[in-house]
Amino acid sequence: MSPASVRRRFPAGTGVDQLREYMAPFALRLGYRFNDDEDFVNEVLASEIEILEETGDVYCPCRVRTGDPKEDVKIVCPCIPFYADQFAKLRKCWCGLFIRTDVTDGSELHGVIEVPEGPAEVPVALAEEFPPGTLRTIRVGKREITLARVDGEFFALGNVCRHAFGPLGQGFMDGYMAVCPWHGWRYDVRDGTTDHPDADVRTYETFVREGYVFVTV
Amino acid sequence: MQVRLFALSTCPYCRMTKRFLDDASVQYEMLEVDKLEDEAKNSAIAEVKEISGGASFPVVVIGEEVIVGFNKKRIKELLQL
């Protein structure tokens, strides 16, 4: 890659400690923290620094960059949103740099395991950072989902408005109704229904545990 | 039994896998995919995607079996170590 095409997110000379400090709050909001194995964390981050020096960004050292920016963006560390459903079941990210905040013994997760079958309970946001009466789009693996809060309750539903495919999660709330920002179609966040025939969106189960909002996919 | 290791030079689990196979004196063929030149790299990525369904490393091929990640237990079973 020519130097001119490098888009630097971190300045040259960025070190392991700076990366750690930078990434930790983003991982925490997705329900993850650094692995307890300090040596392992340092080894992974040292590999990421090598990649950073070459490319200007930190990519997962266990996956290959293809040169296609649309693909490669999915392995920028932390890559958790793009694989949130798989990682939620593994209880760690692919390379194990990050483990779920609710894991007590990270050492048992060493090595890479097959992703178990079945639904995934995915931490998607800190409840205290999600004000009542608001909504936003979240990414859970390949899905985009609208997450909405009404008083103390959270709701999750399909993110694409069935009218003109507007991004529902970028709209606004009116009581229990999520209003599409483009043309104002309204969806009841409790069951995904709208006034328009055959245009309901699907909903997902949500719950709050240890301060995190979870979506089951 | 033929053993192949698809690896990345940057990947800690690839290094662990390599160390494990070396320590067990297993004969294997290793391809460091990120160190290959353009065309060879693309064809290696295509092969990894085909056999493993993704582009995550390491990928260990033992006979007909494909193991994604450093799964010591599974390698031991297949090679009867």
Taking the CA of residue A67 and the nearest CA in chain B, the distance in Å comes to 10
Contact assignment for A113 to B8 by CB distance below 8 Å: no
Q: Is residue A115 one of the residues assigned to a domain?
A: no
Is there a single domain that holds both residue A37 and residue A67? yes
Q: Is residue A22 one of the residues assigned to a domain?
A: yes
Is there a single domain that holds both residue A193 and residue A173? yes
Residue A4 reports pLDDT greater than 50: no
* Last residue in a domain, options A59, A86, A110: A110
pLDDT band for position A54 (cuts 50, 70, 90): confident
Of A43, A51, A63, the CB nearest to B12: A43
Residue A138's Cβ-count burial label (10 Å; 0-12, 13-18, 19+) is buried
Domain that holds residue A211: 122-216
Which residues from chain B sit within 8 angstroms of residue A47, using beta carbons?
A: 10-12
Is there a single domain that holds both residue A136 and residue A186? yes
Instruction: Give the total number of structural domains in chain A.
Output: 2
Is there a single domain that holds both residue A95 and residue A27? yes
Is there a single domain that holds both residue A97 and residue A148? no
DSSP A201: -
Closest to A144 measured CA to CA, from A135, A154, A157: A157
Is there a single domain that holds both residue A71 and residue A31? yes
* pTM, entire model: 0.86
Architecture in CATH of B3-79: 3-Layer(aba) Sandwich (3.40)
SS (H, E, C) chain B: CCEEEEECCCCHHHHHHHHHHHHCCCCCEEEEHHHCCHHHHHHHHHHHHHHHCCCECCEEEECCEEEECCCHHHHHHHHCC
Nearest Cα residue in chain B from A60: B11
pLDDT digits (tens, 9 = 90+) for A115-173: 889 999 999 999 999 999 999 999 999 999 999 999 999 999 999 999 999 999 999 99
Is there a single domain that holds both residue A94 and residue A23? yes
pLDDT band for position B44 (cuts 50, 70, 90): very high
- pLDDT: which is higher, A160 or A69: A160
> What's the distance, CA A129 to chain centroid?
15
Q: Is residue A144 one of the residues assigned to a domain?
A: yes
Which domain CATH number covers A8?
A: 3.90.460.10
**Which pLDDT belongs to residue A1?**
47
Q: Average pLDDT, stretch B2-30?
A: 95
Would you call B13 an interface residue with chain A, using a CB distance cutoff of 8 Å? yes
Which domain CATH number covers A140?
A: 2.102.10.10
Taking the CA of residue B62 and the nearest CA in chain A, the distance in Å comes to 17
Q: What is the ipTM of this complex?
A: 0.84
A126 contact partners, CB below 8 Å, separation of at least 6: A28, A29, A211, A212, A213
Of B8, B45, B48, the CB nearest to A62: B8
Which residues from chain B sit within 8 angstroms of residue A63, using beta carbons?
A: 8, 55-57
Of B12, B69, B71, the CB nearest to A61: B12
* Last residue in a domain, options A110, A135, A157: A110
- pLDDT: which is higher, A204 or A115: A204
